[in-house]
């Protein structure tokens, strides 16, 4: 049963088509990254799912049911950084949030602990680092112990330490069994934190699926020999050869039409009289795959 299932969601702002026929499923227990450049529709999509906006067309289910207040109570959301009171402590701020969201105050120590803020719970919010402020924001989304968290760009504006703190927290929450849906334009973050990804460009879904499947779509082999020119001629004759590029160091990066076992390639080259001095399986990073997808 998907936690969230989108069917052909479209949304326009006047003439701007912010989302166009977007469909994908978020599996339970996943850390699902919605990845796209600025203006690709990530916030619009999360706003529709969290009932801040309504879609023009299409529909979606939450926990396999029509969205209702009951399902939404099982989802903690963080669409923008909440306006915490600067002079109040983290604890007092969470009391305010708990009152607004009608969540029990008894849950406050638990969420502070999860966010690693127990030791500083009585310090004024204004004394917090940016990373701590964002962790407090995530703690506020965790009040009531929802099974699902929706976070819009949780690392936005943070320094590397803050990014790392938030990343660690997201991973811990995932390990504790939460499903996390997060928008991000940080490819590195999606690659390191997310199990699944949906890539949006100008409101259209380019692809979605497990991060591993996206990254490994285009494995390639990097090869070199004492005579790379001769090697190039040989490689181009390989029955599965598709395309090739040369690195600044003169190594050949080869994409085949179908998976080619490195050992078999080594054998094949030696049969053609070429001995490989370099043979490495390289994976395109999600960043490369993403840039290629969004440029096309």
Q: Footprint of ligand ATP on residues 74-103 (CB under 6 A)?
A: none
Least distance from ligand ATP to the Cβ atom of residue 10, Å: 12
DSSP string, the chain: --SEEEEEEEEEETTEEEEEEEEEEE-TT-EEEEE--TTSSHHHHHHHHTTSS--SEEEEEETTB---HHHHTTEEEESS-----TTSBHHHHHHHHHHHHT--GGGHHHHHHHTT-GGGTTSBGGGS-HHHHHHHHHHHHHTT--SEEEEESTTTT--HHHHHHHHHHHHHHHHTT-EEEEEES-HHHHHHH-SEEEEEETTEEEEEEEHHHHHGGG-EEEEEES-HHHHHHHHTTSTTEEEEEE-TTS-EEEEESS---HHHHHHHHHHTT--EEEEEEE---HHHHHHHHHH-
Closer to ligand ATP by Cβ: residue 156 or 253: 156
| Residue 58 contacts ligand ATP per CB under 6 A | no
Give min distance, CB of 103 to ligand ATP, in A. Answer: 27
Give the residue with the Cβ less far from ligand ATP, 9 or 274: 9
Q: Is 13 in the site for ligand ATP (CB under 6 A)?
A: yes
**Least distance to ligand ATP, CB of residue 83, Å:** 19
Selected binder of ligand ATP within 4, 6, 9, 18 (CB under 6 A):
18
What is the per-residue binding string for ligand ATP in 156-195, x denoting contact by CB under 6 A? -----------------------------x----------
Nearer to ligand ATP, 30 or 44 (CB): 44
Based on the shown chain and the rule CB under 6 A, indicate whether residue 204 belongs to the binding site for ligand ATP. no
Question: By C-beta, is 44 or 225 nearer to ligand ATP?
Answer: 44
Output the CA angle 67-68-69, nearest 5 degrees. Answer: 140
User: Least distance from C-beta 53 to ligand ATP, angstroms?
Assistant: 9
Judged by CB under 6 A, how many residues of this single chain contact ligand ATP? 12
With respect to ligand ATP, which residue has the nearer C-beta, 17 or 164?
A: 17
Sign of CA dihedral 253, 256, 259, 260: negative
Q: How far is the CB of 263 from ligand ATP (least distance, A)?
A: 44
Using the minimum distance from each CB to ligand ATP, give the nearer residue, 16 or 100. Answer: 16
Find the binding residues for ligand ATP in span 28-57 (CB under 6 A).
Answer: 36, 38-44
Residues contributing to the site for ligand ATP (CB under 6 A)? 13, 16, 18, 36, 38-44, 185
């Amino acid at each position: 049963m998907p936690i969230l299932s989108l069917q052909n969601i479209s949304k326009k702002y006047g003439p701007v088509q912010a989302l166009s026929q977007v469909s994908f499923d978020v599996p339970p227990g996943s850390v699902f990254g919605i990845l796209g450049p600025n203006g690709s529709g990530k916030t619009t999509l999360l706003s529709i799912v969290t009932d801040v906006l309504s879609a023009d067309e299409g529909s979606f289910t939450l926990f396999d049911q029509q969205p209702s207040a009951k399902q939404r109570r099982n989802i903690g959301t963080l669409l923008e950084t909440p306006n915490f009171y600067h002079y109040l402590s983290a604890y007092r701020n969470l009391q305010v949030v708990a009152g607004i969201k009608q969540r029990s105050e008894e849950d406050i120590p638990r969420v502070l602990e999860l966010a690693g803020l127990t030791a500083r719970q009585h310090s004024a919010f204004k004394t917090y680092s940016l990373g701590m402020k964002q962790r407090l924001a995530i703690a506020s989304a965790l009040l009531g112990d929802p099974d699902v968290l929706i976070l819009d760009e949780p690392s936005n504006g943070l320094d590397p330490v803050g990014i790392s703190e938030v990343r660690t927290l997201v991973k811990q929450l995932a390990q504790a069994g939460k499903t996390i849906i997060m928008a991000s334009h940080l490819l590195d973050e999606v690659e390191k934190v997310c199990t699944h990804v949906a890539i949006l460009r100008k409101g259209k879904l380019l692809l979605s699926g497990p991060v591993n499947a996206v990254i490994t779509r285009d494995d390639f082999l990097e090869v070199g020999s004492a005579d790379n020119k001769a090697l190039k001629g040989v490689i181009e004759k390989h029955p599965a050869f598709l395309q090739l590029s040369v690195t600044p160091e003169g190594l050949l990066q080869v994409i085949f039409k179908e998976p080619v076992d490195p050992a078999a390639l080594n054998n094949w080259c030696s049969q053609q009289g070429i001995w490989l001095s370099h043979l490495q399986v390289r994976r395109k990073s999600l960043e490369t795959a993403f840039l290629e997808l969004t440029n096309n």
